[in-house]
Amino acid sequence: MKSESKKILIISYIVIAAFLLLTMRLWQLQVLQGSKYRKLSEANRFRIMTIPAPRGILFDRNGIPLVKNSSYYCASIIYGEFDKGKVDLLSKVLNMPVEEILEKTNKKGMSPFVPTRLKQGLSFSEVAYIESRRSDFPGLIIEVEVSREYTYGNIGSHLIGYLGKPNLSQSKDPAFGDVPPDAFIGQWGAEMLFDKSLRGTPGERVIEVDSLGREIRMLIEKQPIKGKDIELSIDIDLHKEAEKAFGERAGALVAIKPDTGEILGMISKPSFDPNLFTKGISYDEWIALSRNKNKPLLNRTLQSQYPPGSTFKIIMAIAGLEEGVITPETKVDCKGGINYGKWHFGCWRKNGHGVVSLHRALVESCDVYFYEVGKRLGIDKIYDYASTFGFGKETGCELVNERRGIIPNTKWKQEKRRQPWYLGETFNTAIGQGYVAVTPIQMAVMMGAVANGGHIYRPTLIKDAGPVLLGKAKARPETLEIVKRALYGVVNEPGGTGWAAKSQLTIIGGKTGTAQVIAMRDGSKYLPERFRDHAWFIAFAPVEKPEIALAVFVEHGGHGGGAAAPIAKKAIEGYLKNSTLNQACPGDKARVQGKKQN
Amino acid sequence: MLRIDRRLIKNFDWITLSVVMVIALIGIMTIYSATRPLIEGEHPQFYIRQALWLILGVIALFLMVSFDYIWLGRFSLYLYIVGTILLIAVFIFSKAGMGAQRWLSLGPISFQPSEFFKLIYIIMLSQHLSITKGPINTISLFRVFFLIVFLPFILLLKQPNLGTALIILAIFVPLMLAKGLHKKIAILFVIIGLISLPFLGNILWEGLRDYQKSRLIVFLEPGVDPTGIGYHISQSKITVGSGKFLGKGYLRGTQGPFRFLPEKHTDFIFAVFAEEWGFLGSLLLLFLYLVLIRRGLDTAKNARDDFGRFLALGITFMFSTYFFVNVGMTLGIMPVVGIPLPFMSYGGTALLSNLLAVGLLISIRTRRFELFH
């Protein structure tokens, strides 16, 4: 009996030890780690879902929507509920490899009860098939997502822009803190510029769920606030007409409203289809786009700089008149070129223009006349006038990565090339060749200033933004009148180089330009190469009361009159069609004026 | 035969009975809370059924106390044969539930023969040990093992009912030790055990069902499969831990009703209790079980005969094993083996057979001063 009692005593000790062990474990779980587990149990119960806010719509200046928020279908899977044996069938239905499905669903640390996105942009037949065989695919859900659709595709794509996933630095930036994960943000053009307003405020839904992720009840629901709509300054009809006229050629067009700086059109060719980006661009598509040698992603209107060619003669004429080195009556005898030292500076018309005054010199674009003006002015005066028209610096338009262009002078030459300025270079500059480089948007601003009496406004993409005056060009109204009359002649008088822009609908004034592609390292290479020249045409209309000023540039387009002028005409006609309509509506005009007064 | 002796009432083990009744009532309360519907809706009837089984079980308990347990010893062989036949019958007439064949239906009532078999097995083993003279030698050890333990063990493993099968083994070993082994055998036992462990482990491993394997793997490394068993373990720990020191309060637990915790009213009932009553409440509950087990051991110590002593020991071992494995599993320190917490987990047959076992314990204690008839 004694040994029995002893055995039972031993058993009692073991039992008590086991109880102590359980007690210690309870202490550990409930007291030491209790807060952690309490939090986990709370997190178990709530699922926070973001409701994306509908993005604001971009309108053109006439209220035509440029984008749409369209919905598309996505397939997601709750892997914890999915019948793993059916992965082959699923792969066939979704037309995606089994490995891809497994890879997407087998991510570490992922709850099996939270839906995982498998495929975006299902076709209707795929959706119909899955819906009709619901019971075959437990855990597979079809979700509707909203994506951005660019109604006009390639048209105006550089200006309208596109959406994309936030990149690494953006996702860390607190400015994008309110962007829900997986949401797209504006990555280009107006979509990027006005992203903050367009984005809106996402809503939130806090849902109490059970362990299978089934919704029990909704605790909090905060409705999303739709992003602000934005009326852009552009005119989509102008775009349509002009882009059709461009065809397959590379180039750029910038049209502005002379009295406000509003950008009516901004075209860079070749362009791209922003719809490619909205559902997530594939790597191959991106490579094809970004490595294309025609550079469709480059916004040529402000990221490319070219010699202005003969369009620069407008600056020369203004500078000459203002400085008094010429009068409208000053005559020069053009014999087809001049000789300076051992070099020959030709006029584009080999036979010469004969004796011409300023008006004819501009209308027929006589080079020899402006060599003379350049010689009388000197490079530094030319520089001063070009600068007051906004050349050599950014125009300040909202879009990023704008180039400044180059207007040379003696100081610049000394700094950059460590060489003195030669008169031959002045001749080149006088006809917009050589070192001079401008962007199409600078040209449009200059044209606008000529048309509006010398005011330099900052170009803007927003309709009725209110003009921002950046400066006043050095040009008296009488001077500008003389020049404008000549620009009228370019298009409308016999012998004018811009005859191709002559319109039946309105009176257009403009100036052609042909930019030779010259490598100008030293004096031995002044002669143009056998390249096809770039074509320029800058214009404004109607001449009496300008409502639009624009610059058209066609890469390797040949002569400005032939290649660029017809595009300018189409763009102007496209715009004025709407503009005249607007004038017929007094309310709209009152609104414009009311805004201006503010 | 039915005599309500005055002495019987005087010596009645009120402590064991009241401890068991308190645990069982806590169990019904906890089942009520664990199965309550989330929003409006019908409350599942589990708690009512459990209460009915409790009433039935208490009646059975008193019947058990009123009989002298010595009769069970005398009929043990017949009981054992009937019990084994029922275990076999399960394979023939059963309806499979939860991937295992455990149930037999008798008209409207389904019951698990294995629940009653445990008791019969303890009676059989105790009877056998009580008539064996002196310490166990090799021959008698093998005889006991192969005659009494082996067949039901295999049958239960085949059901499969790993929990009960392991209980059968778990009761066998300490009862043998309690009876006393020849030193040589004890040493031999240990050596054979150590050598065969890898082989035995392998054989056992191969014999396990997939879900049993995964339970073991996941116990060793809970991160492996959070959907399956690992999910059970981590959710159970969250449930217990989130109760903190004072608990969330009765009917305020969320893990059970929100279905994060699987088997909330059966195997994981302790977690639901711990969530609502916290560390303090859990400690109190552990204390109640400790009292029950200590009382059982004391009953064994003071039993009037060897049969009663082995019987009390066997029953106490059974309760202890269930208790430690179940709570250990809930707290994440034991593998997930599907065994219930005695008196608390939902399950009619188990409650009834456990109350019968308590009846036996009380009967043994109450008759500790009686002489043989």
Q: Does the annotation mark A310 as catalytic?
A: yes
- Alpha carbons B276 and A41: distance in angstroms, whole number: 13
Selected from 3.40.50.1220, 3.90.1310.10, 3.20.20.70, 1.10.1370.40, the CATH number assigned to the domain covering A40-66+151-232 reads 3.90.1310.10
pLDDT-based confidence at residue B359 (cuts at 50, 70, 90): very high
User: What confidence tens digit (pLDDT) does each residue in A436-467 have?
Assistant: 999 999 999 999 999 999 999 999 999 988 89
Whether B290 sits inside 8 A of A19 (CB atoms) is yes
SS3 labels along B194-248: HHHHHHHHHHHHHHCCHHHHHHHHHHHCCCCCCCCHHHHHHHHHHHHHCCCCCCC
Provide CB contacts within 8 A for B50, sequence distance 6+. Answer: B27, B28, B31, B346, B348, B351
- Alpha carbons A274 and A175: distance in angstroms, whole number: 24
User: What confidence tens digit (pLDDT) does each residue in B263-281 have?
Assistant: 777 889 999 999 999 999 9
Mean pLDDT, to the nearest integer, of B103-110?
61
Whose tokens are 């005009």? That residue is A589
Mean pLDDT, to the nearest integer, of A47-53?
74
Which among B238, B324, B332 has the least Cβ separation from residue A18? B324
Mean pLDDT, to the nearest integer, of B91-105?
61
- Alpha carbons A434 and A521: distance in angstroms, whole number: 10
pLDDT of A316: 95
Which among A3, A30, A209 has the least Cβ separation from residue B243? A30
Mean pLDDT, to the nearest integer, of B186-194?
70
The Cβ of residue A484 has, within 10 Å, a number of other Cβ atoms equal to: 20
pLDDT-based confidence at residue A596 (cuts at 50, 70, 90): very low
- Alpha carbons A516 and B364: distance in angstroms, whole number: 117
- In the chain, the amino acid numbered A561 is G
pLDDT-based confidence at residue B105 (cuts at 50, 70, 90): low
Provide CB contacts within 8 A for A342, sequence distance 6+. Answer: none
**Cα within 13 Å of Cα(A67), Cβ side:** 30
Which among B177, B262, B320 has the least Cβ separation from residue A15? B320
Burial of B334 (0-12, 13-18, 19+ CB in 10 A): middle
CB contacts of A11 in chain B (<8 Å) are 174, 297
**Tokens describing residue A273:** 């289809």
Angle (deg, nearest 10), helices A98-105 and A87-94: 110
Q: Are B259 and A50 in contact (CB under 8 A)?
A: no
| Distance to chain A for B360, nearest Cα, Å | 19
pLDDT of B193: 65
pLDDT of A143: 76
Q: Beta-strand (E) ranges in A390-477?
A: 455-457, 469-472
Selected from 3.50.50.60, 1.10.8.100, 1.10.1740.10, 3.40.710.10, the CATH number assigned to the domain covering A236-285+297-597 reads 3.40.710.10
- Alpha carbons A103 and A71: distance in angstroms, whole number: 27
- Alpha carbons B183 and A414: distance in angstroms, whole number: 110
- Alpha carbons A315 and A377: distance in angstroms, whole number: 12
> Which one of the listed residues A268, A304, A310, A579 is annotated catalytic?
A310
User: What confidence tens digit (pLDDT) does each residue in B29-49 have?
Assistant: 999 998 887 666 678 888 999
Q: Does residue B210 or residue A346 have the better pLDDT?
A: A346
- Alpha carbons A296 and A280: distance in angstroms, whole number: 18
Most confident of A113-127, A208-222, B113-127, B209-223: B113-127
Whether B301 sits inside 8 A of A8 (CB atoms) is yes
| Distance to chain B for A82, nearest Cα, Å | 12
Whether A12 sits inside 8 A of B294 (CB atoms) is yes
CB contacts of A18 in chain B (<8 Å) are 320, 324
- In the chain, the amino acid numbered B256 is G
Q: Does residue B108 or residue B356 have the better pLDDT?
A: B356
**Tokens describing residue A35:** 């807060």
The Cβ of residue B46 has, within 10 Å, a number of other Cβ atoms equal to: 17
What Å distances lie between residue A477 and A184, A256, A317, A445, CA to CA?
Answer: 50, 20, 13, 17
Average model confidence (pLDDT) for chain B?
Answer: 82
Q: Which helix (H) or strand (E) holds A69?
A: strand A67-77
pLDDT of B124: 93
Burial of A242 (0-12, 13-18, 19+ CB in 10 A): buried
SS3 labels along A476-522: CHHHHHHHHHHHHHHHHCCCCCCHHHCCCCCCCEEEEEEECCCCCCC
Whether B243 sits inside 8 A of A33 (CB atoms) is no
Helix (H, G, I), strand (E, B) or coil at A47: strand
**CATH 3.90.1310.10-classified regions of chain A:** 40-66+151-232
Tell me which fold the domain A72-147 belongs to: Ribosomal Protein L30; Chain: A, (3.30.1390)
CB contacts of B321 in chain A (<8 Å) are none
Whether A4 sits inside 8 A of B333 (CB atoms) is no
**CATH 3.30.1390.30-classified regions of chain A:** 72-147
Which among B262, B274, B286 has the least Cβ separation from residue A30? B274
- Alpha carbons B330 and B234: distance in angstroms, whole number: 9
Burial of A62 (0-12, 13-18, 19+ CB in 10 A): middle
In this predicted structure, which of A579-588, B83-92, B335-344 has the lowest mean pLDDT? A579-588
Q: Is the pLDDT of residue A519 over 50?
A: no
Closest to A69 measured CA to CA, from A60, A78, A56, A81: A56
pLDDT of B175: 86
Q: ipTM of the predicted structure?
A: 0.87
Q: Which helix (H) or strand (E) holds A266?
A: strand A263-269
Instruction: Search chain B and give the residue with CA nearest A12.
Output: B294
Most confident of A80-84, A109-113, A244-248, A252-256: A252-256
Give the phi and the psi of residue A551 in degrees, each rounded to 5: -130, 130
Closest to A508 measured CA to CA, from A575, A446, A458, A461: A575
Provide CB contacts within 8 A for B327, sequence distance 6+. Answer: A22, B270, B286, B341
Whether B177 sits inside 8 A of A7 (CB atoms) is yes
Average model confidence (pLDDT) for chain A?
Answer: 84
Closest to B260 measured CA to CA, from A113, A32, A78: A113
User: What confidence tens digit (pLDDT) does each residue in A336-370 have?
Assistant: 889 888 888 888 888 889 999 999 999 999 999 99
pLDDT of A163: 87
| Distance to chain B for A18, nearest Cα, Å | 8
Q: Is the pLDDT of residue B221 over 60?
A: no
| Distance to chain B for A102, nearest Cα, Å | 16
* Interface-testing mutation among A14, A20, A23, A37, with chain B (most B C-beta atoms within 10 A): A37
| Distance to chain B for A13, nearest Cα, Å | 10
